[in-house]
Copies of this chain bind each other. A is one copy, B any other.
């Protein structure tokens, strides 16, 4: 990405092992993230030549001398943030904030260098069927992020969960909330295709309102109290306020939308009296469990990909997501 709305597919040297903890992966599938749209839309600045992509699955081609848990030939899923998975923060389940964390980038490519391979990558039991690849790819970020949002919102048995945001993360957080046992999931969406997918992922109710109107509808369906759990998967001022106001006192808001340009009023938050938790999802924590659920066909998160393009057509993938013509685009190198 050379600047806003300027994505190009160009030849670059194949990545090489730089540290003994690195692995080189032949990418089987990558995709475009909602967060990739922030620089695409000029809201964040990633510099004059950003190598894009942080969601990936693929086959290990080469590992550094220190790598012990994955080997060439393994099919692996990795988190969008590399972590050592051994520090105190990782052990507490926050690998995305590992003391040695490094962002993974340039995954929208044929080959990818993954730092801290032992702490970052998880191998599948064997080579997956082709049909499982989209679902495994979601575990790398979008499913893992939706899962974290549902955990942060304390979705679980007996809970009514409201979901603000009908992008891929929001939709997969519906799936996560239901897997975690939530009784009711209220999906906020005005888009028929996304509403249909929300239902497929387990939403029990569709709420069409937005802002204050959306909040009023959530309150109406929860005896005036608000939802026990609210998932925020957008990252705007309106969506954060909507999430906080839709939650009952003592309830939990899990937020994973990258909160650019958001300012929370202290007094508003004080009197909302909700629990608020979120940030970059510690996807690595959930990978073994998510891979198992996908492997056993308990869940089919790959349904969020409604467009698949060859890697060379990456610019079109960005356009389709920017214009909301596609929920999520899979790129095949």
A312 CA / B320 CA spacing, docked (Å): 72
Given A259-B269, A261-B266, A270-B259, A279 and B249 contact (CB-CB distance below 8 Å): yes
* Contact call B262/A240, Cβ cutoff below 8 A: no
Residue of B nearest to A263 (CB): B263
Residue of B nearest to A261 (CB): B266
Chain A 271-304, CB-CB to B under 8 Å as 1, else 0, gives: 1111111111010000000000000000000000
Interface residues of chain A: helix, strand, loop or mixed (majority): mixed
Chain A 219-246, CB-CB to B under 8 Å as 1, else 0, gives: 0000111000000000101001000000
Interface segment, A2-10, A88-96, A109-117? A88-96
Residues in B with CB closer than 8 Å to A250 are 89, 92-94, 97, 282
A223 to chain B, nearest CB (A): 7
A265 CA / B93 CA spacing, docked (Å): 24
A269 CA / B274 CA spacing, docked (Å): 15
Q: Is A258 an interface residue (CB 8 A)?
A: yes
A271 CA / B249 CA spacing, docked (Å): 24
* Contact call B279/A266, Cβ cutoff below 8 A: no
Q: Is A13 an interface residue (CB 8 A)?
A: no
* Contact call A272/B277, Cβ cutoff below 8 A: no
* Contact call B276/A258, Cβ cutoff below 8 A: no
A248 CA / B89 CA spacing, docked (Å): 8
Q: Is A264 an interface residue (CB 8 A)?
A: yes
A245 to chain B, nearest CB (A): 13
A225 CA / B97 CA spacing, docked (Å): 10
Which of A223, A237, A269 has the largest number of chain B CB atoms within 10 A?
A269
Residues in B with CB closer than 8 Å to A271 are 279-280
Given A89-B250, A266-B263, A96 and B276 contact (CB-CB distance below 8 Å): no
Some 15 contacts from A to B, beta carbons below 8 A apart, are: A88-B225, A89-B248, A92-B250, A97-B249, A97-B273, A99-B224, A262-B266, A262-B267, A263-B264, A263-B265, A264-B264, A269-B276, A273-B278, A274-B277, A275-B275
Q: Which 7 A-B pairs have the closest CB atoms?
A: A262-B266, A259-B266, A273-B279, A97-B249, A94-B250, A264-B264, A276-B276
A interface with B by C-beta (< 8 Å): 88-89, 92-94, 96-97, 99, 223-225, 235, 237, 240, 248-250, 255, 258-267, 269-280, 282
